[in-house]
């Protein structure tokens, strides 16, 4: 990114007033789209967090190179006892980066050469184009560029359990465990303008709509809710009260909702059930909905659906499906993780024996 573009974006973030109307949201969104990629402004860190962040940067430098970039999102499991380290992860063809959570610790590899293992964090996510990473560290939400530049820290007043960057990179939706409650917040990508959106939610990662002007989450009662930033309003969608996954389509406004045993699509206010079974995972792959479910036999059935819910095909992937992300379906086969984009060709990503993988994301 050029220094001139950075100065333009920093000036925009410093001067932009907090929007009060839908028109303001739309104008701000379009301005940011014109200036992509996004670069958060500088902000001072509290002394303790700065020391910790500096240690993270030094650790990463010792492990490899911090100057590389990838395109991935990462999710972290809980910290557990130390086990043998993972093997070096392998990138599937076309992927810019990979992050696996093994026994509660992060392993990262990017196409540019950056490698990192063993970093304990409660949760994290990389911004679009992997320009910045936001992570839950202690009771703070911390963000920095992969090379350690322009860090900021926000006191979340609790343990951050889920993070989701908007597609334009300008906002972050995150969930904090505060006492016995889970609270949903939205904060600007430069660490300012934090606002509590809902004080009773479930620990399901929010999903942003393609235009970055709305996102879906799961309320405390288990119903899916869409929050509209332009009108600062929320509405319940769907008819089920056991939602465990939400996933907006990469284009348009179609929303997929998953429960333990069904998948439904919400389009123009209508809810249509498109899959049943023991749902293992769901997600969008090249504009198509991919659903992996147990049907009483193994390996699990993977169905590929059009945005209107019509079935386009199906196939089986040996092992247990753990995620659909970054253009791949990821499955666990014995001690290995494998990724496939077609159902026929797989790439072994690699995991050490005895390791327990909590989650994995590609980009």
What tens digit of pLDDT does each residue of 110-144 get?
666 666 677 777 887 777 776 777 888 889 998 87
CA distance 189 to 143: 9
Of 187, 127, 128, nearest to 160 (Cα)? 187
Among residues of the chain, what percentage have pLDDT more than 90?
A: 33
Residue 166 lies in a domain: yes
Residue 295 lies in a domain: no
CA distances from 33 to 30, 212, 253, 302 (A): 5, 10, 18, 35
Among residues of the chain, what percentage have pLDDT more than 70?
A: 59
Q: What is the pLDDT of residue 73?
A: 35
CATH number at residue 62: 2.130.10
Q: What is the pLDDT of residue 110?
A: 64
Q: Which residue has the higher pLDDT, 239 or 68?
A: 239
Residue 101 lies in a domain: yes
Residue 350 lies in a domain: no
DSSP-assigned letters across all residues of 59-128: HHHHHS-SS----------------PPPPPP-PPTT-SEEEEEETTEEEEEETTS-EEEEE--S-EEEPG
Residue 297 lies in a domain: no
The structural domain count of the chain equals: 1
Residue 265 lies in a domain: yes
Residue found under tokens 């906002």? 171
Residue 302 lies in a domain: no
CA distance 256 to 248: 6
Q: In what order do the strands lie in the sheet with 159-165?
A: 159-165, 171-178, 181-188, 195-198
Residue 335 lies in a domain: no
Mean pLDDT across 154-173:
94
CA distance 35 to 1: 11
Of 253, 255, 245, 257, nearest to 323 (Cα)? 245
Identify the band that residue 357 occupies on the pLDDT scale cut at 50, 70 and 90.
low
Alpha helices in the chain (DSSP H): 3-15, 22-34, 47-63
End-to-end CA distance of the chain: 20
CA distance 316 to 300: 6
Identify the band that residue 16 occupies on the pLDDT scale cut at 50, 70 and 90.
very low
Residue 122 — φ and ψ, nearest 5°? -70, -40
With contact defined as beta carbons under 8 Å apart, do 242 and 260 qualify?
A: yes
Identify the band that residue 64 occupies on the pLDDT scale cut at 50, 70 and 90.
very low
Burial (0-12, 13-18, 19+ Cβ within 10 Å), 116: buried
Domain membership of residue 171 as a residue range? 3-279
């Amino acid at each position: 990114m050029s220094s001139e573009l950075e100065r333009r974006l920093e000036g925009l973030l410093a001067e932009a007033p907090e929007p009060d109307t839908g028109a303001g949201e739309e104008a701000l969104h379009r301005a940011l789209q014109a200036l992509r990629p996004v670069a958060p402004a500088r902000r001072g860190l509290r002394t303790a967090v700065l020391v910790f962040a500096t240690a993270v940067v030094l650790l990463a430098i010792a492990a490899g190179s911090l100057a590389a970039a990838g395109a991935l999102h990462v999710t972290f499991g809980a910290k557990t006892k130390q086990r043998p380290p993972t093997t070096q992860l392998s990138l599937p063809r076309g992927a810019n980066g990979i992050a696996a959570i093994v026994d509660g610790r992060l392993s990262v590899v990017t196409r540019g050469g950056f490698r990192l293992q063993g970093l304990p964090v409660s949760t994290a996510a990389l911004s679009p184009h992997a320009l910045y990473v936001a992570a839950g560290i202690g009771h703070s939400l911390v963000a920095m560029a992969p090379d350690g530049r322009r860090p900021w820290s926000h006191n979340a007043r609790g343990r951050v359990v889920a993070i989701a960057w908007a597609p334009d990179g300008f906002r972050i939706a995150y969930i904090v465990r505060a006492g016995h409650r889970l609270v949903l917040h939205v904060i600007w990508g430069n660490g300012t303008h934090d606002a509590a959106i809902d004080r009773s939610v479930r620990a399901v990662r929010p999903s942003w709509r393609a235009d970055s002007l709305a996102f879906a989450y799961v309320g405390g009662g288990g119903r899916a809710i869409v929050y509209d930033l332009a009108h600062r309003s929320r509405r319940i969608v769907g008819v089920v009260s056991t939602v465990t996954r939400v996933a907006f389509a990469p284009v348009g406004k179609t929303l997929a909702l998953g429960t333990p045993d069904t998948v439904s699509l919400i389009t123009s206010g209508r809810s249509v059930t498109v899959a049943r079974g023991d749902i293992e995972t769901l997600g969008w792959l090249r504009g198509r909905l991919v659903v992996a479910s147990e049907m009483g036999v193994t390996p699990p059935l993977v169905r590929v659906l059009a945005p209107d819910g019509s079935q386009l095909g199906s196939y089986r992937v040996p092992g247990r499906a753990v995620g659909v992300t970054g253009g791949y379906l990821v499955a666990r086969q014995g001690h290995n993780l494998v990724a496939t984009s077609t159902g026929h060709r797989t790439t072994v990503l690699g995991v050490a024996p005895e390791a327990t993988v909590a989650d994995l994301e590609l980009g």
